[in-house]
Amino acid sequence: MMNSSSSQVQKQDGKNLPSALKKVKELLQGKTPAVFLDYDGCLTHIVKDPDKAILTDGMRNTLQQLAAECPVAVVSGRDRANVEQLVQLNNLYYAGSHGFDISGPNNMHTEPGGAAAAIPALDKAQADLNERLNKIDGALVERKRYAIAVHYRNVAEEQVSEVLEATQDVLSKYKELKPGPGKKIMELKPNLDWHKGKAVHWLLEELNLKKSDIIPLYIGDDLTDEDAFAALQGKGVSILVGEHDEETAADYRLESVEEVQEFLIELTQYLKE
């Protein structure tokens, strides 16, 4: 399986990617899609308070209609239970904690990747981070089941380096953990060879979707989605929403959450026809 470090992965500047809008027929090549979507920055706008990234009724309706036509999964860094609660649709699959915790229809619930072993280290690191960062205005230590996200979006610019240094220092104490960069976030994750790309392949295998008439389609906006883009190169379609600070392995782009919804509606209409 490819991963983001593979020498075969082609990367380019996200700004130069062609738009995916009005290209549904071309992208699908006559196949049925299996659709994978990030949550924050893809289905909802990025907001200062993660708890306020609420899915609109319109987007929920769009997802529900698409899931009636093809398999749909939300693949998020958020806790699986949290993203499931935000989306509130029982005909979707949910891969939380970057794919360490997966649920879906017919009582599917599994935790591939072996992350449970890292929980004691996460507990200790969380206590250390709270102690180190509680005096820095705007710094937020968000504990998830299988990760800790240190948010610095609301930290004064001159104090960002202090947040990052403290986080790196805490991280260096625990060999069970590794860093995971994101947009204005530094994550501490289980030091295991598992990520969104592997979660997508696991779901494709588990749901018997690795077939010649099915094409995986992944839409995401973050650096963590690059693992999925890389894993699907030559095997599916990947779409970057907006842009991030690095080169991307995606094939196409959409400018915004609004364009994501427009694309998903287009996709649904095509499948219904």
Catalytic center residues: 38
Cα separation, 221 vs 3, in Å, equals 17
Report whether 238 contacts 252 (CB < 8 A). yes
Both tokens of 233, joined, read 């190169």
Mode of pairing for the β-strands spanning 214-220 and 148-151: unpaired
Q: Which of 240, 185, 203, 246 is CA-nearest to residue 218?
A: 240
Query: Token digits for 249?
Result: 């392995």
For residues 263 and 20, the answer to whether their CB atoms sit within 8 Å is yes
Element (H, E) at 238: strand 237-241
Decide: residue 177, CB within 10 A, 0-12 exposed, 13-18 middle, 19+ buried.
buried
Asked whether the beta carbons of 39 and 46 are under 8 A apart, the reply is no
